[in-house]
Structure 1
Amino acid sequence: MITLFHSPRSRSTRIVALLKELDALDAVRIEVVTIPRMDGSGGRDPRNPHPDGKVPLLDHDGVLVWESSAIIQHLAELFPASGLGIPVGDPQRGPYLSWLAWYAGVVEPVLTLKALGLEHPALGRTFRTEAEVVARLANAVSDRPFLLGDRFTAADLLLHSPYAWFGKPGLPEIDAWVDRCMDRPGARFAADFDARHAAI
């Protein structure tokens, strides 16, 4: 059995979108749980086995997978028929994995630090700056619809998600890419799912 522990309007919303894109909603049970929110609302849910009480968390036959990048890679490889992942041996496998890792190691820290209003030269040298993040994304989608070309992949689903949440950066190339990603069946399904479960 596969269970996704999800809290509406959180980082796990992108995993709900992924399940729709993978056509895996019948294969993965979504357990809606509460989490402690930044505004002080919510709380840790005893049903959620995540060691930090956070989401997303995937329980695959008793094996826990945490962190969005890992869950996305795991699910895309578990349901390969969707074409959202890039298999071993494909020339685009390296760039695909790099985008997933870059999100976790660079994009999320940079955007979180920006949201908190924290700046320091050492942070910029370690993680890069927001301007560098935006420039790399803009360059990647300046002459193609998605990060790896004409094909929407799980990397697009992950990388566009903070802009779907915090708002688009105002660069035409990135804004159009975010719009394309938000117009996908998965994004629409996840928004509807969260609206229906928002009271949890």
Structure 2
Amino acid sequence: MPDPNAPSGQADSPVQLIEPKRHGDARGWFSESYSERDFAARGIDIRFVQDNHSLSKPAFTLRGLHFQTPPHGQDKLVRCIRGRILDVAVDIRAGSPTYGKWVAVELSAENGRQLLVPIGFAHAFLTLEDDCEVVYKTSDFYAPDCDGGLRWDDPAIGIDWPLPAGTAPELSAKDAVLPLLADFVSPFAYDGRPLAPLD
């Protein structure tokens, strides 16, 4: 889905949409969901050390906005293997001209797309149907002391969540009380690459 909030005009965005090829025949299809060599050819030089897998049973479950702070920041490679989600990344790098801006894309078992969410971006997703399963790789291990997050509905960020009128998302108790961007002092450095649209 196009993101009207996203900045425009940049080709080298740190957040990247990955679309692995599927090779199909009468039996179904085969796809390489991750290849270190192919990622390196795209300029993505990340060593992943942990795989995570979540099941969200009700539609409109929202997880996020999450990140880990240094020294245990996490790059994430996210895909949906059952159902459909809206996956979101928010720029939280100090000094970035796109600080607080976001991009979003629908990931589904059907489309096979993946989103690379690098260190310095908060990540969240909203399930668009029941029984969604999401898997993602991370470049560092879970570190509770570095666990951080921001409010999903922060008006300063203004994410356009596709929630039906009158529907509140299913949230964890922790996510419901995360701080606002205005109260966050970013420990992430800007690397010179502003956030750009995904499509």
**Structures share a fold, TM > 0.5?**
no
Task: Name whichever structure is richer in strand by fraction.
Answer: 2
Task: Name whichever structure is richer in helix by fraction.
Answer: 1
TM bucket (normalised to shorter chain) is: under 0.3
- TM-score, normalization by structure 2: 0.28
Greater length-normalized contact order (CA 8 Å, ≥ 6 residues apart): 2
